[in-house]
Structure 1
Amino acid sequence: MSQLPQSPRRPKGVITPLAINFLHLRNPYTIAWWSAAYPGFGHISLGCYVRGFLLFIWEILTNTQAKLNMAILYSFTGRFDLAKEIIDTRWLLLYPSVFIFSIWDSYRLTMKLNRLAVLADRNEEVIRPVSMSGMEINILDKRSPWVAAAWSLLGPGLGHLYTHQIPTGFFLLVWWITIAYCSNLLQAVHFTAFGLFEQTGAVVDPQWLLSLPSVYGFAVYDSYVNTNEYNRLFEKEQAVLFKQQYQSPDFKMPTQLASEVYITASFSYSIALEVVISELEQRGISREHICAIPMNVPWKERQLIDTIYQADGLSMFDLATVLGTIFMLFGVMWGFFWQWGPIIWGLIGLLLGGALGFLFKYLYYRLYMQKQPPSGKITEVVLIVSCREPEASMVEKVLAANLALSIGRKE
């Protein structure tokens, strides 16, 4: 009796029509920070959506009922009597235990998932790259992390929708709209645009407005990091495919025989590369005559920017978003008493904190971590096709039409 195929004991992850959830290494201190900035965010970043969404809703409920943000505003602006008057102790005393649990549990869970990620990476098993249902299609593909970050700045949640993280995307989008509406954010932006700074401070509700820096900071950070990790997962999945199916022991490397022509092409990881191989097979080039070799990329001096073509896993973005969130929060609070109002000073705090975060990380990597893979479009896969002379022009045309970086021929 034949046995059913077993799934790997330590799977890398899973792809569904609504999202991709998989294991990768994370900094436990960064995850703990996001749980402190807003309980639930650390768990959402880890892919623990049920816990994350429930903790986020608990934070919204408890914070608004206890008037905690108002007490924070009064405390950091020196009005301590007002802070004591406005706080509701019936709700405040419910806050510490769950707040601390959120930080502790996300840190603990990160450490555990990091160990599982190491074990999963040692297997050749990766997730299926496509998942379809009657409502959605989800395809593992490369995307730009900077596009995801830009959409998140325009509207928290949009960057996650760009990377097809639909549960997180719509959750953040709905709550961003709710917080923006309850805080009168758009009215404040309108008054700020016309220079009516006194009316800006009068129209906004600080209790809701002080939640926005954390929401913005997390949305930008999480969408950026997830996009980078999806790109790396795509490269690993495609490399495993080529090693398993396009490195046949029957493939003969170039010899002096004049009857064979060898076409060599270089590619970056992309779906276009699989389209090339499929089209060659459709046109009569058998799998035994195609050899795909994933390349190990040499390391050189580290560059600043992650792109769709390369990301090294050493995030330049985590400290920038952390400091951007903190500075934006204080800019909003103190902006109520300064000339330009909370919106302008919140944006200044975001830019200043983000710039300092980038500067600190840049100096750290320059001093302590000097190496990284080369940037730009690089050769990540070499494709060798063995064919007869009449087929050579056809093979070259197919390669050239599908994003080959370079093409060579040996006759």
Structure 2
Amino acid sequence: MNSNNSNSRRQVAYVSIIGTTQLHLRNPYVIAWWSAAFPGLGHILLSKYIRGFLLFVWEVVVNVNAHVNLAILYTFTGRYELAKEVLDTKWLLLYCSIYIFSIWDSYRTTVDINNNYILAAREDAEIRPFNLSAMEFNYLDKRSPLISSLWSLLMPGAGQIYIHRIATASFTLIWWIAILYFSRTLPAIHYTFVGDFQQAKEVVDPQWLLNISSVYLFAMYDAYTNTVENNKLFDWEQSKFFKRNYEHKNFNLPSKRRANRGDKLHIIATFEHSIYLEKAISAIQMKGIEKEDILAVSMDKRAEERKLFDTMHSSDGLSLIDLAAILGTILMLLGTIYGFILKQGPIFWALVGLLGGFALGLIIKLYMTKKYSNRQGNQKTPEVVLIIECNKDKIEMVKETLWAHYALGVRKLSLE
């Protein structure tokens, strides 16, 4: 049976062929908000797929039959009598209780997951970073949060494919296509870009169109945050691997006392956490360096000032993207609603709301957390120190191998 090794009661993560499921700290208010935006989304963020998918489908079915989105549109545009007439009370009363349950349950589940994560992190159980089957394989690796979010903005679900969240990707892609089709958004986009705003208003179905803002921004937010957390998980697992295999207590640390003890010298190199580091170590071992002569030490990171955007090598998690995604969703929805009474139509004002809300969220976060600093934001930081003891005749081979695998710095240590 191919399962992650653990005798512990809790695990931080599980790598399967359909994705990486992991525990990590989340803001329960943010998760609850996504459930309020669209029931099921908060649970999908938590990787509670069955519950999340059921609530999502329930929201679509009941909302469509109760005409909730149409009532929202008429209410916000001041047509209150139409809002009353369009609602189907047989479905509406069914809608309310599950809607509130979705918000409450996602908040409660987030609190429970946070508590279990703290206990799992203390148990420090091992995980298997690679899972291979006859149909598919999955592995931990470093990926760019910016790239995953951009792919999701181009096509919701594509960012999840990039980070191998197959369950979320499949569900998001199917429903995104369904929402686009029933809302007739693509013809409306065409008419908007050719300047036929009246036709853009007439062609769309408002009941389905109002779903787009929540699903669209959710796909971007989910891809971004899970890329960040997967990168952190990769660093954590690789640190444990080095500690277990390349921190031998009998390693001959360099010192002046042993500086002249024959042909033995030390090479010191620094790396970021990456798969290339493991490739460098394995390549050096294949060329005759014993495992006991390699010391790999992952460095504890000091709390850093936060950066504008997370990268695959540096992240403070949900630093900016949470509020930006929330405000982008809200203003995109409002732009869609009021676009029906404004000249340029719902597509144009939805895009304006999306860009304006996202930018506003970034600005507010920048102000609240005082993120502007004089720090060199693009400078790479060493995360692992590698020390290799070898004979003089292998010095150049070791150095070339380290440079070929993207070492940040390499130096032969001479204490003579």
Counterparts of 1:280-299 in structure 2, within 5 Å, are: 280-299=284-303
Instruction: Establish whether residue 358 from structure 1 lines up as the match of residue 362 from structure 2.
Output: yes
Q: Corresponding residue for 1:236?
A: 236
Q: Do the aligned residues in 2 keep the contact of 1:302 with 1:372 (CA within 8 Å)?
A: no
Aligned equivalents of 1:85 and 1:13: distance in 2? 50
Instruction: Establish whether residue 100 from structure 1 lines up as the match of residue 103 from structure 2.
Output: no
Aligned equivalents of 2:318 and 2:75: distance in 1? 37
Q: What is the letter of the counterpart of residue 384 of structure 1?
A: I
What TM-score, normalized by structure 2, do the two folds share?
0.95
Aligned equivalents of 1:374 and 1:16: distance in 2? 35
Q: What is the letter of the counterpart of residue 38 of structure 1?
A: F
Q: Corresponding residue for 1:385?
A: 388
Q: Do the aligned residues in 2 keep the contact of 1:213 with 1:328 (CA within 8 Å)?
A: yes
Counterparts of 1:99-248 in structure 2, within 5 Å, are: 99-248=99-248
RMSD: 1.7
Q: What is the letter of the counterpart of residue 345 of structure 2?
A: G
Q: Corresponding residue for 1:333?
A: 337
Q: What is the letter of the counterpart of residue 386 of structure 2?
A: L
Could you tell me how far 1:217 is from its partner in structure 2?
Answer: 1.2
Q: Deviations over 1:329-356 (max 9, x none)?
A: 0000100111111001000000111111
Could you tell me how far 1:372 is from its partner in structure 2?
Answer: 9.9
Aligned equivalents of 2:379 and 2:168: distance in 1? 30
Equivalent pairs, count: 406
Q: What is the letter of the counterpart of residue 321 of structure 1?
A: A
Aligned equivalents of 2:298 and 2:157: distance in 1? 34
Q: Deviations over 1:21-40 (max 9, x none)?
A: 01000000000000000000
Q: Corresponding residue for 1:343?
A: 347
Q: Do the aligned residues in 1 keep the contact of 2:310 with 2:317 (CA within 8 Å)?
A: no
Q: Which moved more, 1:72-81 or 1:309-318?
A: 309-318
Q: Corresponding residue for 1:402?
A: 405
Gaps of at least 5 residues in structure 1 are none
Gaps of at least 5 residues in structure 2 are none
Q: Which moved more, 1:57-66 or 1:301-310?
A: 301-310
Q: What is the letter of the counterpart of residue 92 of structure 1?
A: L
Q: Do the aligned residues in 2 keep the contact of 1:298 with 1:373 (CA within 8 Å)?
A: no
Q: What is the letter of the counterpart of residue 405 of structure 1?
A: L
Q: Do the aligned residues in 2 keep the contact of 1:43 with 1:51 (CA within 8 Å)?
A: yes
The alignment-based identity, stated in percent, is 49
Q: Do the aligned residues in 1 keep the contact of 2:160 with 2:168 (CA within 8 Å)?
A: yes
Aligned equivalents of 2:341 and 2:206: distance in 1? 13
Cα 1:373–1:120, aligned 2, differ >3 Å: closer, same or farther?
farther
Aligned equivalents of 1:229 and 1:182: distance in 2? 34
Q: Corresponding residue for 1:51?
A: 51
Q: What is the letter of the counterpart of residue 321 of structure 2?
A: F
Q: Deviations over 1:179-220 (max 9, x none)?
A: 001011100011111000000000000000000000011111
Could you tell me how far 1:371 is from its partner in structure 2?
Answer: 12
3-state SS of 2:281 partner: helix
Cα 1:126–1:341, aligned 2, differ >3 Å: closer, same or farther?
farther
Q: Do the aligned residues in 2 keep the contact of 1:298 with 1:374 (CA within 8 Å)?
A: no
Aligned equivalents of 2:221 and 2:126: distance in 1? 25
Cα 1:126–1:370, aligned 2, differ >3 Å: closer, same or farther?
farther
Cα 1:314–1:205, aligned 2, differ >3 Å: closer, same or farther?
closer
Q: Do the aligned residues in 2 keep the contact of 1:299 with 1:373 (CA within 8 Å)?
A: no
